[in-house]
């Protein structure tokens, strides 16, 4: 018997998620959708088989997703990570021009001594740290492709996203036709879309010609420039993703309910990578919300929708710079407004199709309060439906029991007292809060024997590095030497096959080692 139909295709879900990725790139929403449309038109012009159009779509939607993996590192080296990515579209990042761009951005936002140190470090390493970050980006994106069940060729394509026609990209030395055609097409489309929007058709043609033979394949540039007006989106073009996908062979298959849940879990994990201290947050909120909803005897369909809303409630954080998400001191008024806007973006990202809009309407209520003091709508009382009240209470509780850059995680007892205080002040609903606390009382304990042969201590260390602690911090937290902590981390990487904090975090999430109330972050 066929599994229940979720009403959502994977293409629609990825298109929605791409709107959040646009925010992280410092671009208007639908940049990636427009880029895909350009690449698709150009592909048909140069003979890309229709059978490869789905791979082109998936490559376009996923290639930039990995930027969530190195936000803190980009911020430390270059300042505002979103502004950095937005500015990068103006530069050819290969060779001397690329090094000039990186040196010009090094230490941005820091006092002069900090900027000088950042420039010196970048110059001394020859951009090695940048290359490692790009490699991590590609690996993380490939991991997501695998988790979504996409074909191996898509996983391989997104690994080549930072390759260049001249071989000066990552992986180093991969050049020319060694790069998948779908990647070469998207390389051109991703850049010309930005320049077309900023400078018109002439600007798009100019940048394509300027990078011909270096970043871009000359034959594709020639094909693009000869028909730029036809290939570039015009004001009459429709961007209704649902309609566009239905026209493309291979993109109209709907996810089953279980498949939809699994895809949302994978995308939630990537959202949480935006900030190390939030690892497992979305899973935790989703599980807690669903548990509370069951205790309140909500219908099964509402429980599932609330679970999905919990997974998706933070997708708008892609539009918030890492420096704000991980700031150890109080936010300025401007920074607070930027953070509050994330809830609006979550609802906007999930606005279509109807099956996504239903959970988006609830996800957008995650930070509302009964007295009207929440955001982004500022509604209160009966204007917040019960699922929204449950989600708000679950989100508030999870925020408390997770570490943040300005404080350690609260204990279960401390968090319970603070939630009771929010109820007494009229900000959280009594019934919803009680159900959330009851569900939290049965919090999952960590397993004694871990996956991949991880010991209990290694699981503890993994929880700490997943939340952004450096080797010295792990040693201090656990009362062990720095050398011992380093040995634990080396063994964790060897056992799990991880090569960075981000890939180690994804391993922990896949195996249920994060997101519970006892994952080592606050111990």
**Spatial distance between the Cα atoms of 263 and 173, rounded to a whole number of angstroms:** 33
Q: Which fold has domain 451-510?
A: Arc Repressor Mutant, subunit A (1.10.10)
Residues in the chain with pLDDT < 70? 1-2, 126-127, 236-246, 442-449, 515-523
Residue 8: enclosing H or E segment and its boundaries? Answer: strand 5-9
Q: What is the pLDDT of residues 187-232, one digit of tens each?
A: 999 999 999 999 999 999 999 999 999 999 999 999 999 999 999 9
Cα(107)–Cα(104) distance, integer angstroms: 9
Cβ 288 vs Cβ 436: under 8 Å: yes
Q: Cα-atom radius of gyration of the chain, to the nearest Å?
A: 23
State pLDDT tens for residues 73-129: 889 889 999 999 999 999 999 888 888 999 999 999 899 988 999 888 888 876 677
| CATH code reported for the domain at 5-68+142-245 | 1.10.3210.10
Q: What is the pLDDT of residues 29-68, one digit of tens each?
A: 999 999 999 999 999 999 999 999 999 999 999 999 988 7
Say whether 429 sits in a helix, a strand or coil.
coil
32-6-442 Cα angle (round to 5): 100
Question: Which pLDDT belongs to residue 243?
Answer: 66
404 phi, psi to nearest 5 deg: -130, 165
Backbone angles phi, psi at 439, to 5 degrees: -65, -35
Answer whether 251's CB lies under 8 Å from 9's CB: yes
In angstroms, rounded to a whole number, what is the distance separating the alpha carbons of residues 481 and 474?
9
Q: What is the pLDDT of residue 501?
A: 87
Cis check for the bond before 110: say yes or no (omega within 30 of 0).
no
Residues of the chain with CATH 1.10.10.10: 451-510
CB 158 within 8 A of CB 143: no
Return the exposure string of 264-280: e unless at least 16 CB atoms fall within 10 Å of the residue's CB, then b: bbbbbbbbbbbbbbbbb
Alpha carbon distances (Å) from 218 to 112, 164, 165, 222? 42, 12, 9, 6
**Residue ranges in 240-280 assigned as alpha helix (H):** 241-247, 257-272
- 């990515």: which residue's tokens? 85
| Contact (Cβ atoms closer than 8 angstroms) between residue 270 and residue 276 | no
Pure H helices in 160-237? 181-210, 218-226, 228-231
Helix 10-24 vs helix 257-272: angle between axes, to the nearest 10 degrees?
10
Cα dihedral sign for 516, 518, 519, 523?
Answer: positive
186: which 2 tokens? 């998207």
Rounded CA gap, 164 and 305, in Å? 43
Q: Are 68 and 17 in contact (CB under 8 A)?
A: no
**CATH top-level class of 258-440:** mainly alpha
- Sign, CA dihedral 418-422-428-431, equals positive
Q: Do the Cβ atoms of 189 and 64 come closer than 8 Å?
A: no
Longest CA–CA span in the chain (Å) reads: 68
So what's the pLDDT on residue 138? 85
């Amino acid at each position: 018997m066929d599994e229940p139909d979720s009403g959502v295709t994977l293409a629609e879900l990825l298109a929605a998620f791409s709107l959040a990725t646009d925010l992280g790139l410092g671009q208007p929403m639908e940049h990636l959708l427009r880029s895909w449309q350009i690449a698709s038109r150009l592909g048909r012009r140069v003979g890309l088989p229709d059978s490869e159009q789905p791979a082109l779509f998936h490559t376009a939607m996923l290639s930039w997703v990995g930027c969530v993996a190195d936000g803190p590192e980009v911020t430390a080296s270059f300042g505002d990570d979103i502004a950095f990515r937005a500015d990068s579209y103006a530069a050819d990042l290969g060779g001397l021009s690329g090094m000039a761009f990186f040196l010009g951005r090094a230490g941005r936002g820091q006092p002069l001594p900090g900027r000088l140190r950042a420039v010196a470090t970048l110059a001394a390493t020859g951009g090695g740290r940048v290359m490692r970050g790009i490699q991590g980006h590609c690996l993380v994106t490939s991991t997501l492709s695998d988790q979504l069940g996409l074909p191996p060729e898509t996983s391989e394509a997104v690994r080549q996203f930072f390759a260049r026609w001249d071989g000066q990209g990552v992986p180093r030395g991969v050049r020319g036709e060694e790069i998948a055609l779908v990647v070469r097409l998207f390389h051109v489309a991703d850049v010309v879309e930005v320049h077309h929007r900023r400078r018109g058709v002439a600007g798009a043609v100019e940048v394509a010609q300027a990078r011909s033979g270096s970043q871009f394949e000359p034959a594709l540039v020639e094909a693009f420039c000869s028909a730029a007006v036809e290939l570039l989106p015009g004001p009459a073009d429709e961007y209704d993703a649902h309609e566009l996908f239905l026209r493309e062979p291979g993109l109209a298959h709907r996810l089953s309910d279980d498949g939809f849940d699994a895809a949302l879990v994978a995308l939630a994990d990537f959202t949480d990578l935006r900030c190390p201290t939030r690892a497992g947050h979305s899973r935790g909120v989703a599980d807690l919300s669903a548990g509370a909803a069951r205790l309140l005897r909500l219908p099964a369909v509402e429980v599932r929708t609330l679970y999905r809303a919990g997974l998706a409630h933070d997708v708008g954080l892609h539009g918030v710079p890492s420096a704000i998400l991980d700031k150890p001191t109080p936010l300025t008024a401007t920074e607070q407004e930027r953070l509050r806007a994330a809830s609006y973006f979550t609802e906007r990202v999930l606005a279509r199709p109807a099956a996504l809009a239903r959970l988006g309407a609830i996800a957008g209520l995650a930070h509302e309060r009964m007295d009207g003091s929440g955001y982004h709508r500022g509604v209160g009382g009966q204007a917040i439906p019960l699922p929204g009240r449950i989600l708000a209470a679950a989100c508030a509780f999870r925020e408390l029991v997770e570490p943040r850059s300005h404080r350690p995680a609260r204990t279960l007892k401390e968090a319970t007292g603070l939630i009771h205080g929010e109820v007494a002040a009229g900000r959280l609903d009594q019934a919803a809060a009680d159900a959330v606390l009851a569900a939290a009382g049965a919090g999952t304990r960590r397993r004694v024997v871990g996956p991949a042969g991880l010991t209990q201590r290694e699981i503890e260390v993994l929880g700490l590095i997943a939340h952004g602690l450096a080797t010295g911090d792990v040693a201090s937290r656990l009362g062990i030497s720095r050398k011992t902590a380093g040995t634990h981390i080396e063994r964790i990487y060897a056992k799990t096959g991880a090569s960075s904090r981000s890939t180690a975090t994804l391993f922990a999430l896949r195996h249920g080692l994060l997101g519970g109330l006892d994952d080592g972050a606050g111990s």
